[in-house]
């Protein structure tokens, strides 16, 4: 086994903190991965990984070597990609939040894969902020403030949001004309952004500032589909990006309220690990995803003023 292959194997073990998961990622037998790391440690005369029955972690020397391995492997990939014309190829792992994939990515995915037949696309969905290095993810698609200094990227869209309610709810509680009308007689469907977390407030633009309100919430959920469905059956007010309630609005299952006091736009970010050289397949995906959001977002724009971005996500 050559040195570059040994570096590649060690880097994946160091990122995944597991010989088994690294072997699965690389399509190699676990014994081959274990042997490669052991041979590397013998050649370097240093212990790169601390191993216990429950966890594998890089030693300080292993962390330093891991950083150098990533730089070397990225340089090799860039050099080979340049000679090959930078053709995107290989496995691309993308983690997407909520329903973004179904609305913005999947419709155009056949064309993307047709343009880049060498890419094997793997997508997972989840609302938590995954660790791309530890979990072997190339790109994260997220809404709101990423709040993670280990990730870099750019905002690719700002999604228009609206306050919605069902006709039955409004018939029972009355149609509010201002956010102040919500106090005392209205309720919301609670949305928990994370397990065990508090409910997100409703937010309204009032005289150039953002006002947040927390209303009584007899029902709270942590999934976007249930959030919208709860509003459809009259359980309270919700705030979501317009794309997520398009059909319900079209058929009158939900209606917009307080249109003069809109929620702030919801920013969408494409993120990748800081310090990692972007491969041709990742660059190709980033460019394509920006285009898809520009074409399919409610505003049709990929940029805007960030001052009023909504920091949380109800997708």
Q: Retrieve residue 34's tokens.
A: 């274990």
Beta strands in the chain (DSSP E): 49-51, 56-58, 90-96, 119-125, 139-143, 151-159, 161-165, 190-191, 202-206, 209-213, 220-221, 238-241, 255-257, 266-273
Nearest to 73 by CA among 124, 140, 20, 26: 26
SS3 (DSSP) at 215 = coil
Q: Which residues are registered as beta bridge partners of 130?
A: none
Q: Which residues are registered as beta bridge partners of 202?
A: 213
The per-residue pLDDT for 307 is 33
SS3 (DSSP) at 203 = strand
Q: Retrieve residue 249's tokens.
A: 């609005």
133 band by pLDDT with thresholds 50, 70 and 90: low
Cα–Cα distance, 26 to 15 (Å, whole number):
13
**Mean pLDDT (whole number) for 102-130:** 85
The per-residue pLDDT for 196 is 59
Q: Retrieve residue 15's tokens.
A: 């990122």
Query: Quick count: other Cβ atoms within 10 Å of Cβ 285?
Result: 25
**Mean pLDDT (whole number) for 236-260:** 94
128 band by pLDDT with thresholds 50, 70 and 90: low
Cα–Cα distance, 187 to 52 (Å, whole number):
51
The per-residue pLDDT for 282 is 87
Distance spanning both ends of the chain, measured CA to CA:
47
CA 225 to chain centre: 17
The pTM (predicted TM-score) of the whole model is 0.69
* pLDDT surpasses 80 at 145: no
Q: Domains, the chain, ranges and CATH?
A: 3-83 (1.10.10.10), 90-159+266-308 (3.40.190.10), 161-257 (3.40.190.10)
**Mean pLDDT (whole number) for 64-69:** 87
Better-predicted residue by pLDDT, 177 or 27 = 177
CA quadruple 287, 289, 294, 296: dihedral sign: positive
**Mean pLDDT (whole number) for 95-116:** 89
Nearest to 155 by CA among 166, 145, 165: 145
CA 237 to chain centre: 25
The per-residue pLDDT for 143 is 82
* pLDDT surpasses 90 at 231: yes
Confirm if 311 and 263 have CB atoms less than 8 A apart.
no
The per-residue pLDDT for 167 is 97
Q: Which residues are registered as beta bridge partners of 110?
A: none
**Mean pLDDT (whole number) for 159-164:** 95
Residues 6+ apart with CB under 8 A from 111: none
């Amino acid at each position: 086994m050559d040195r570059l292959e040994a570096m590649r194997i060690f880097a994946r073990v160091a990122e995944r903190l597991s010989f088994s998961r690294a072997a699965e990622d690389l399509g190699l037998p676990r014994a081959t991965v274990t042997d490669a790391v052991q041979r590397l440690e013998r050649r370097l005369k240093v212990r790169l990984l601390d191993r216990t029955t429950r966890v594998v972690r890089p030693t300080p020397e292993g962390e330093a070597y891991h950083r150098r391995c990533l730089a070397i492997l990225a340089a090799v990939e860039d050099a080979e990609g340049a000679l090959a014309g930078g053709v995107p190829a290989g496995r691309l792992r993308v983690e997407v939040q909520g329903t973004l994939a179904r609305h913005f990515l999947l419709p155009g995915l056949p064309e993307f894969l047709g343009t880049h037949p060498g890419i094997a696309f793997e997508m997972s969905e989840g609302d938590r902020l995954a660790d791309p290095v530890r979990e072997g993810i190339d790109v994260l698609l997220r809404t709101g403030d990423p709040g993670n200094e280990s990730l870099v990227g750019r905002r690719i869209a700002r999604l228009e949001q609206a306050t919605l309610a069902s006709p039955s709810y409004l018939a029972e509680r009355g149609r509010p004309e201002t956010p102040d009308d919500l106090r005392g007689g209205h309720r919301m469907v609670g949305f928990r952004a994370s397990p065990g977390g508090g409910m997100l407030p409703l937010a309204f633009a009032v005289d150039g500032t953002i006002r947040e309100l927390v209303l009584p919430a007899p029902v709270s959920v942590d999934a976007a589909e249930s959030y919208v469905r709860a509003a459809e059956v009259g359980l309270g007010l919700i705030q979501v990006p317009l794309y997520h309630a398009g059909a319900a609005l079209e058929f009158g299952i939900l209606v917009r309220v307080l249109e003069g006091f809109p929620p702030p736009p919801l920013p969408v970010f494409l993120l990748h690990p800081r310090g990692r050289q972007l491969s041709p397949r990742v660059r190709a995906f980033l460019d394509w995803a920006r285009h898809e959001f520009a074409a399919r977002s409610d505003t049709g724009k990929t940029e805007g003023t960030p001052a009023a971005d909504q920091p949380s996500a109800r997708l």
